[in-house]
Amino acid sequence: MSFTPAEQAAMTRALELAATPGVPMVADTRRVGCVLLADDDTTVAEGYHRGPGTPHAEAAALAQAGESARGATAVVTLEPCHHTGRTGPCTEALVAAGVRRVVYAESDANPVAAGGRARLEAAGIEVETGLMATAADALAGVYQLAQREQRPFVTWKFATTLDGRSAAADGTSRWVSSAAARRDTHRLRALCDTMLVGSNTVAVDDPLLTVRDEHDRPVGPERQPLRAVMGERDLDPARRVFNTDAETVHLRTRDPHRALAELFVRDRQHVFLEGGPTLAAAFLRAGLVDEIVTYVAPMLLGAGRSAVGDLGVTTIAEAFRPVVTDVTVLDPSPADGAAGEQPNIRLTLRPARLHQQKEH
């Protein structure tokens, strides 16, 4: 593999474009960025995928470039698609535009969209792949896993005290985490397309399950994830999760596999699991947790509800051992500090199976 310094800089920029906030994510939506380079290594055009039904990153960049795309190098974060969905194949657009070379970070895991490289090479376009693949996978990993496994990617989030309690003995849990941690949670919620809890959480805690802004006000309905409640019990329609702030679906099953299958059919790509300990344990035991985000507060309860239920672990050798990928201290804002808030620690972890796949 041989990449020029200009191509490396262009891929860095393409990754920035792909990470543009506000792109609504569903099961067949890719976060992709594209930069077109002229022969003298200057940037001709840029583009990124803005959501379902909009032009893909390559098509957006080509439209901006016009005739200047002829003979250019397209630097893309994901293999150009070779199928017709809501929009036409990016491969055909690149061929028609007269692009000379295509550099992309990683292959598309969706078998329907794959085959882009073969089509481009058949048209005489030079193709190189693997540039900044790790960074691209960190960005597109949700989509890639959803396509490989035909189910949504699952992020399990919870807040805990130093001694592993998510609620006190009397059931109170407001607030285990700090205001800064709660703001960060809303940031992460906004990156997902589905919030999932169990029916017991809805019955007992009556959560809103919405994305809210820095003033604790719900953002617009068009930016709200789907609220999914999992469980067989009937629920009081007056529970707040059934209000009009966002759409809600009741998945009448206790089986995590079935719940995710139903969500994938609904074009869901990324589930934010915020259920109680029983639901968390069910997903962990089923091997269906792909990322863990936990907020640890400087607090001791000594008794109360654990963050996770029985995992079937009877000896230390059987312990579930995810790999830490990030540790961040969330400091309080000046207003939080005035209220006596202390820093919380956010830990991000991935199951060892996924970490090993990523390393290889």
Binding site listing: 56, 81, 90, 159, 173, 175, 189, 201, 205, 209, 212, 274, 276-282
Describe the strand order of the beta sheet including 101-106 as a list of residue ranges.
43-48, 33-37, 73-78, 101-106, 126-129
Closest CA to 85 of 107, 108, 118, 68: 108
Task: State how far the Cα of 360 lies from the Cα of 343, in Å rounded to an integer.
Answer: 35
> Hunting for tokens 């310094």 — which residue is that?
5
Any bridge partners for residue 330, and if so which?
A: 344
- Of residues 58, 106, 291, 341, which has the active-site annotation? 58
Which residues are part of a known binding site for substrate?
173, 189, 209, 212, 274
Per the CB < 8 A criterion, the answer to whether 4 and 41 are in contact is yes
Residues at the binding site for NADP(+) are 159, 175, 201, 205, 276-282
To the query of whether residue 58 is one of the catalytic residues in this protein, the response is yes
Report the binding-site residues for Zn(2+): 56, 81, 90
SS (H, E, C) the chain: CCCCHHHHHHHHHHHHHHCCCCCCCCCCCCCCEEEEECCCCCEEEEEECCCCCCCCHHHHHHHHHHHHHCCCEEEEEECCCCCCCCCCCHHHHHHHHCCCEEEEEECCCCCCCCCHHHHHHHCCCEEEECCCHHHHHHHHHHHHHHHHHCCCEEEEEEEEECCCEEECCCCCCCCCCCHHHHHHHHHHHCCCCEEEEEHHHHHHHCCCCCCECCCCCECCHHHCCEEEEECCCCCCCCCHHHCCCCCEEEECCCCHHHHHHHHHHCCCCEEEECCCHHHHHHHHHCCCCCEEEEEEECCCCCCCEECCCCCCCCCHHHCCCCEEEEEEEECCCHHHHHCCCCCEEEEEEECHHHHHHHHC
CA atoms within 13 A on the CB side of 309: 11
Return the structure tokens found at 281: 């344990």
Catalytic annotation, residues: 58
